[in-house]
Amino acid sequence: MNPLIPLFVIVPLAGAFLIMILGRLIRNLDKYLASLILLFLVSVSFWFLLTTGDKVTVYKAGGWEPVNGIPIAIYMVLDGFNTLVLCIINIIGFVSVFYSITYMSRYTSENYFYALFCLMIAGMNGVVISGDLFNIFVFLEISAISSYALVAFGVEKNELEATFKYQVLGALASFIILLGIGLIYWKAKTLNIADIRMVFSSGYDRAYYLLIQILLLCGFGLKAAIIPFHAWLPDAHSSAPSPISAMLSGVLIKAAGIYVIIRLFFNMFAISQGMSVLITTLGALSMVTGVFLAIGQWDIKRLLAYHSISQMGYVVLSVGIGMMMISKGIRDEIAALAIAGGLFHLINHAAFKGLLFLNAGAIEYTTGTRDLREMGGLAKQMPVTAATSFAASMAISGIPPFNGFFSKLIIIIAAVLAKYYLLAVLAVIVSIITLASFLKFQRYAFFNKSDDQNKRNIKEVPFPMLFSMIVLSIICLLLSILALPGIRETILMPATDILMDPSKYASQITGI
């Protein structure tokens, strides 16, 4: 029992409540309270990252002990994998909320914004720490509903249209997920992920099992915007206020989509050949299609949103390669390498895509446009934005010494070692096209000198926005050290181990 685990949900929930009540009475309370909450969560999640290691700690809500070895309480679980995801959620959350202090001052009813933001953080943290399928659904809906509201925060034509699309597809995904959970409960009579694993390991109906897997893959695939389900992502992510775009693209699609897919397909279902082929194919498809859709975009945030699909494709692809290797039962070290590469890219993508959306927000804040063709020559007027966005662009295109290079390298090496040469070649090609597309972004936004007359009063953005961008660009550089042998073992290996050895996860949780 670790009594600190529920803090990840309780603190932001209480914060949202307090901001709603006190925010009207005390001026500027909302901004600083939200920043403080996120700062606290960042420090707690870091502390867990350093202390968790190989251990699996559990919090049982209400203190209900298992009866005859069957867990009946709501379990909150902390292991090597989800501490990593918690860290990225809270860091990107802190940076975005600090950035919002000036960015959101142009909008009205700011206290609603900060309350919804805290609610979204609570939902995402809840999804990640929950060890129970139904609670994953509940927290998923908390984060989803607050993100619907946040996407529509500008209440203009585009925002409303985007949020309507997002809501219809998001609600569809939720029902499909709920249907899958109901079907699981019908057969397994339990909702605890570890216990479901135990129940299904003693035999199951193959067709039924496959139906559940397909339903959950569709549902969480819709939340994660893997390619056949991606229609809502470019609209929603480009219409939201920029700090929210950074949250949605940087963490929400990972916490609510990719994280749950990885967790369920490694730790709950037995890995099968068919599913791993399907997941790898979906990953490769989103990797390639996403980048081709991105290259023709002129709206900065739309371009970045399509790149999110493509970069998530890398993560799904490499996790799929890991599943494939495990299902063949040979050469576990390649599977471990592929999964570690995927998780590393997941972390990296949060850092650089968050930074890129904050840069796009800064450009929009000063120039008032998102169209690349109307910008140009901003490098002189906005040197910090230009430098940080250059760092992020190089990171996402995989140029050393930035973090994106190392994770893509690991993924490509894993694909080559696993003898999927076609996938390795595709990954390289997609990386090159990404580079081309970001060179276009850099050239049109910052260098391509246009007429100076209409650019006269453009200044660098205020301090909170600068601070957030600088912090994230430093994180982009620092994350490269995760590829070093000594550090990789302490940070990435616990996460890979818990995924590689699903019986360990199940036995540790039900055994406690």
Partner 1 sequence: MIPYYLCFILFLVGLYGIITRRNLVKIAISLSVMEFSVFLLLALTGYREGGVAPIVDPTDPVKVYVDPLPQAMVLTAIVIGLATTAMIMAVIIRIYRKYGTFDIREIKNLRG
Which residues fall within 8 angstroms of residue 369, CB to CB, at 6 or more apart? 375
Minimum CB separation of residue 396 from partner 1 in Å reads 21
Minimum CB separation of residue 9 from partner 1 in Å reads 15
Q: Which is nearer to partner 1, 91 or 151 (CB)?
A: 151
Closest CA to 396 of 294, 485, 484, 245: 294
Minimum CB separation of residue 234 from partner 1 in Å reads 8
Minimum CB separation of residue 235 from partner 1 in Å reads 5
For residues 501 and 497, what is the distance between their CA atoms, to the nearest angstrom? 6
Which residues fall within 8 angstroms of residue 356, CB to CB, at 6 or more apart? 304, 389, 392, 393, 396
DSSP3 helix / strand / coil % (the chain, rounded to 5): 80, 5, 15
Minimum CB separation of residue 300 from partner 1 in Å reads 14
DSSP code at position 495: H
Write out the DSSP string of 130-190.
B-BHHHHHHHHHHHHHHHHHHHGGG-SHHHHHHHHHHHHHHHHHHHHHHHHHHHHHHHHS-
Interacting residues with partner 1 (CB under 8 A): 134, 137-138, 141, 145, 148-149, 152, 155-158, 160-165, 167-168, 171-172, 174-175, 178-179, 182-183, 185-186, 189, 191, 234-235, 239, 296-297, 302
> In the block, which residue shows the tokens 């050393």?
400
User: Tokens at residue 69, please?
Assistant: 């070895």
Q: Which is nearer to partner 1, 74 or 319 (CB)?
A: 74
User: Tokens at residue 462, please?
Assistant: 């205020």
Closest CA to 312 of 213, 225, 415, 432: 225
Beta bridge partners of 59: 76
Minimum CB separation of residue 458 from partner 1 in Å reads 27
Q: Which is nearer to partner 1, 172 or 384 (CB)?
A: 172
Minimum CB separation of residue 434 from partner 1 in Å reads 19
Q: How many residues does the chain have?
A: 512
For residues 97 and 31, what is the distance between their CA atoms, to the nearest angstrom? 8
Characterize the bridge pairing of strands 57-61 and 74-78. Answer: antiparallel
Minimum CB separation of residue 12 from partner 1 in Å reads 18
Q: Which is nearer to partner 1, 296 or 400 (CB)?
A: 296
Q: Which is nearer to partner 1, 113 or 148 (CB)?
A: 148
Distances in Å between the Cα of 355 and the Cα atoms of 99, 304, 472 are: 11, 11, 6
Q: Which is nearer to partner 1, 160 or 417 (CB)?
A: 160
Q: Which is nearer to partner 1, 135 or 389 (CB)?
A: 135
**479: Cα within 13 Å, side-chain hemisphere:** 31
Minimum CB separation of residue 271 from partner 1 in Å reads 26
| The dihedral formed by the CA atoms of 212, 217, 220 and 222, expressed in degrees to the nearest 10 | -120
Minimum CB separation of residue 156 from partner 1 in Å reads 7
